[in-house]
Amino acid sequence: MRLKLEFTKPFSDAVGRKVVEMEFGGNTCGELLERLSGEYPALSTKFYDEDGSVTDYLIIFLNDKPISALEGLDSEVRDGDRLLFFFPISGG
């Protein structure tokens, strides 16, 4: 399946660009994180804490919903899906 991924800072720094279109053979968001960490090693420290768990400091939107409102890392991705990765921050 083909996915369109959009990264904002600091994830875009690790990837080297903001938008990536990729072929993906997996099924879930968790698998996608693993694939991306392999492909972009600098992403690994942004996605995972030292104990190997996925960091609190990452929000992923799958189309128009955060995966936290779906099935979390088990949320299934489908052909044509768009994902947005951003850092949770507030301010004014």
Distance between terminal CA atoms of the chain? Answer: 39
Task: Give the nearest distance from C-beta 62 to another protein in angstroms.
Answer: 10
Closer residue to another protein in complex, CB, 63/76: 63
x/- contact string, 60-89, with another protein (CB under 8 A)?
A: xx-xxxxxxx--------------x-xxxx
Residue with smaller CB distance to another protein, 38 or 63: 63
